[in-house]
Amino acid sequence: MSKPSVAINMLWCVPGQVGGSEEYFVRQLLGLHEINAPFDVAVFAPRGFSVAHPDVAKSVRIVEVGNSCTNRELRVSLENTWLASKTRKFDLVHHGGGTLPSRGNASTLLTIHDVQYLSYPQYFNAMKLRYLRNRVPSSVRRATCVATPTNYVRQSLDAAFGNVQTRSFVVRHGMEPNIGVSATDEAELRSRFHLGDARVLMFPAMTHPHKNHEFVLRLLAGPWRDDNLKLVMAGGHGLADTHVNQMIIELGLENRAIRIGRVDANDRDGLIRLAEALVFPSMYEGFGAPVVEAMALGTPVIASDCASLPEVVSDAGLVLPLEESAWADALNEVGRRRAELISRGQMRSAQFTSAKSAEDLCVAYDAALTLSRAGRS
């Protein structure tokens, strides 16, 4: 008996331009190969995807369109024409970018990474917001089944659009299997980023308003005031970039709040590993991969109690309300409970592997295929 055929629409996934959702899907694809999933999988992707992800290219069949898909209108057009034609005979089409094309195979699994546009519409330009408000609700209604990275997103969809819980499935993130193996040496990082022998806190996040850099900066200038404590902020330039720079100057933190921009995985792992704690005061996350990366690397986590973070961190880190008084003693608590938090974190991070992510995905595929067959009978 032949395996059910599954086409995975990755035209939305322009390498290096879609953030954590790219890594989320890459880990799932590698996981499907790792567990020898009972599906005949083909990935439909932008030009250059195979070069960007050679490990995926060795694991699954990739069909590239002759376009980079950097323009959303062109990508949507390709989904409704090229992709619809290529995937019409597949048993199931998995759309990973949060929306469904208006044409194509009716048997679908739709992945929704988050619904941030509902909570923070001010962080989206008018065109993107209009697109999401128009396309996401109708896509959720039309999809055979829906996949989300957390129960938080799943419940948010149900609250916003209704009738989602019975046909939605949590497909957890899978971390890099060899995370930390090639981490940059601590001495090199301390020298390169002028950290000396300081205590270090790590905060990896783009400077978007919801990431809440200001909250940590005020802690650094207040209850965490210690000339030998430095905050390393890694990540790209977001909508709050100018404000963050102004706050650093206003609070007199030029020598303690260190902005290093984007770093590669080896530097990221090394910086997280040398840190006393990873701080993550974000007001919105559909998942929050950095907290799991820190736990896997043996670094205690201090996170907000917002959105998905309590679910992801669970009891493996400090999960605190966004009030200065609640965070004031957090570093001391990490010091007192360090061995316990490291142990709990490593056990928790073991629940987020590529194989487990792929197993979750297979459950969603089976459910979508079953519902599709029932609808046709």
Residues ≥6 apart with Cβ < 8 Å to 10: 25, 43, 44, 45, 46, 49, 96, 97
28-50 tens-digit pLDDT: 999 999 999 999 999 999 999 99
- Output phi, psi for 69, to 5 deg: 60, 30
Q: Are 349 and 174 in contact (CB under 8 A)?
A: no
Q: For tokens 């008996």, what's the residue?
A: 1
All structural domains of the chain, each given as residue ranges with its CATH number in brackets, are: 5-174+354-376 (3.40.50.2000), 186-349 (3.40.50.2000)
118 pLDDT tier (thresholds 50, 70, 90): very high
Q: What DSSP assignment string belongs to 213-245? A: HHHHHHHHHTTT--TTEEEEEES---TTHHHHH
Q: What is the mean pLDDT of residues 224-234?
A: 97
| pTM of the complete model | 0.93
Per-residue pLDDT of 274-323, as tens digits, reads: 999 999 999 999 999 999 999 999 999 999 999 999 999 999 999 999 99
pLDDT > 90 in the chain, percent: 89
Concatenating the DSSP letter of every residue in 323-355 gives -HHHHTTHHHHHHHTHHHHHHHHHHHHTT-BHH
| Helix, strand or coil, per DSSP, at residue 321 | coil
Instruction: List Cβ neighbours of 171 (8 Å cut-off, separation of 6 or more).
Output: 28, 111, 147, 148, 149, 357, 360, 361, 364
